[in-house]
Chain A
Amino acid sequence: MTETHSNAYASVVGALTASEAQDFERHLIECSACAEEVMDARAIASALSTTVAVNPPARLRGSVLASIAHTPQEQIATVTALPRSETVAADRSSRRNRATSLLAAAAVVAAVGFGGWAVQLGQDASDSQQAADVALSQRAKLASLLTAADVQTAKLASLLTAADVQTAKLASLLTAADVQTVSGRFISSDDSGAVVMSEERQMAVLVATGLPKLPEGKVYEAWTVKGDPAPAGIFTSDDSDAVVELSDAAFDADSIAVTIEPAGGSPKPTGDAVFDVSLPPA
């Protein structure tokens, strides 16, 4: 049992320092056993509050209700279900599901990362505390998602949490009001991919799962296609999953394609596309 692992119950009764709590939150993303334990124990900790119940002063009720009357409610990002394409045969539905759950995981991980990130900003700021509270519920969701989902999802989770900056950016993308998702499939393999974009946030990413490992000296290269393809980013298949930020040209492009190129990438595609999705007209 690691030091962090043994902190599950202490976290529930609030006995961790801010930095211990932060470490533990990261740990929870990967440890479904702890996540479950915490969820269970939290109900017990919550019950402890009934032993010290005190009626609040009557004025507080009025004050709370007056405040909420002009407090807008956060509209939660819904992860767009991948559109059903007629060209996708029924036997590929499992892949589609995987891509969907992957994106859902990305959204949740992004939210979790966001919480941890906000906590770092200031331990005294109540807003950051709130972000941590939110991360708590998101984390629980992630835990159940991860235990249900496949290894790919878990890998993406660790991929995303590894880089806070990227996570924060993804969070912002996935919560954009105009976020759009277009799914596609890699040719002659088991892979699925999706392009997620938001003009409002000026961000477009390609999410790919189950990529085959490329031979030494080869990379995947993404292209924005409008007339001639333009380079949009290079990635490798080390972890079989990839989240690639695409160039701004993605917003004007008719489609996004991926080819296999020599290391370092090419200015023009040299092979056939292994992935190609048409983007809806702007």
Chain B
Amino acid sequence: MSVSAPISVHELAPLMAAASHGDEQAYAQLYDATSRNVFGIVLHVLRDHSQAEEVTQEVYVEAWRLAKRFDSTQGSVSAWLNTMAHRRAVDRVRSAERRTQREHRHFEFQSDNVAADPAELVVATDEGRRVRRALAQLPEGQRTAVELAYFQGKTQREVAEHLQVPLGTVKTRIRDAMQRLRKQLGEAAS
């Protein structure tokens, strides 16, 4: 379910504050405003619909449980939720990979196609378009490094192996990419 009037990121902090005092309705609004990004990143990393649902559910239940720990001076509500979601998804991919590697030594993680169910088409938002444009303007080496790490959950060592460049190069590319993105997206990105 989505809300008819979209809630801007600036209205999220008060919702979070209310939720931290047990306001379930505020939390429902917060869910409506943030869940497409949370679910999107989890699904993108995990590439498995039912697991993505599971992880998204975990994220929102934990964020509810720990709502009082959110501190608006340390970042936005979206950043808090997205960071939590991304970490959980990456964690799950890695433990699944470890399991699979134990079973099949030559496992290759296929990750080039998002599940193409039309119902799951990526929602084009203004911010999404802006960030996509900024990503597209990165030098290819930088963009690939960030994509492999952030969207595919690879470690920097795996990225280095995949691209056949030294680890130090990967670190530099990721840093440069993030700094460029910050410059392009500016304050509004938070």
Contacts and interface: CB of A to CB of B under 8 A. Distances in A.
Interface of A: 6-10, 12-18, 20, 39-58, 60-61, 63-65, 67-69, 71-76, 123-124, 126, 129-130, 132-134, 136-138, 140-141, 144
A133 B128 contact: no
Given A52-B151, A74-B65, A132-B87, 19 more contacts: A9-B174, A9-B178, A13-B178, A15-B170, A15-B174, A39-B75, A43-B190, A44-B182, A46-B79, A50-B127, A56-B36, A56-B53, A58-B1, A64-B56, A73-B66, A130-B66, A133-B62, A137-B69, A144-B74
Contacts, number: 219
A42 B64 contact: no
B16 to A, nearest CB: 12
A17 to B, nearest CB: 5
A11 to B, nearest CB: 10
B189 interface: yes
B90 interface: yes
Contacts of B88: 126, 129, 133
Contacts of A9: 171, 174-175, 178
Contacts of A65: 24, 27-28, 31
A239 to B, nearest CB: 29
B39 A54 contact: yes
A43 B75 contact: yes
Nearest to B20: A73
A69 B131 CA distance: 35
B155 A15 contact: yes
Contacts of A123: 91, 95
A97 to B, nearest CB: 19
Nearest to A41: B178
A126 B58 contact: yes
Contacts of B13: none
Contacts of B60: 64, 67-68
B156 to A, nearest CB: 4
Given A67-B57, A68-B24, A71-B64, A10 B80 contact: no
B165 interface: no
Given A10-B171, A16-B156, A39-B74, A54 B121 contact: yes
A183 B60 CA distance: 40
A15 B149 CA distance: 5
Contact residues on B (Cβ < 8 Å of other chain), bracket: 35 or more
B120 interface: yes
A50 B24 contact: no
Nearest to A124: B95
B182 A54 contact: no
Given A126-B58, A137-B70, A48 B150 contact: yes
B76 interface: yes
A281 B125 CA distance: 61
A52 B40 CA distance: 5
Given A15-B159, A137-B71, A56 B39 contact: yes
B127 A47 contact: yes
The 4 closest A-B pairs by CB, nearest first: A43-B190, A56-B39, A15-B149, A49-B41
Contacts of A40: 182
A10 to B, nearest CB: 5
B122 interface: yes
A56 B168 CA distance: 38
Nearest to A35: B74
B68 to A, nearest CB: 4
A137 B174 contact: no
Interface string B1-36: 110000000000000000010101001100110011
B186 to A, nearest CB: 10
A133 B156 contact: no
Contacts of B65: 71-74
Contacts of B128: 50-53
B144 interface: no
Contacts of A14: 86-87, 90, 149-150, 153
B46 to A, nearest CB: 12
Nearest to B61: A67
B35 A61 contact: yes
Given A54-B123, A55-B36, A71-B64, A46 B31 contact: no
29 contacts: A8-B175, A10-B156, A10-B170, A10-B174, A13-B174, A13-B178, A15-B154, A15-B155, A44-B182, A44-B189, A45-B86, A46-B82, A48-B135, A48-B151, A49-B41, A50-B127, A52-B122, A52-B128, A53-B122, A54-B43, A55-B39, A57-B53, A60-B35, A68-B61, A73-B65, A75-B68, A140-B75, A141-B74, A144-B74
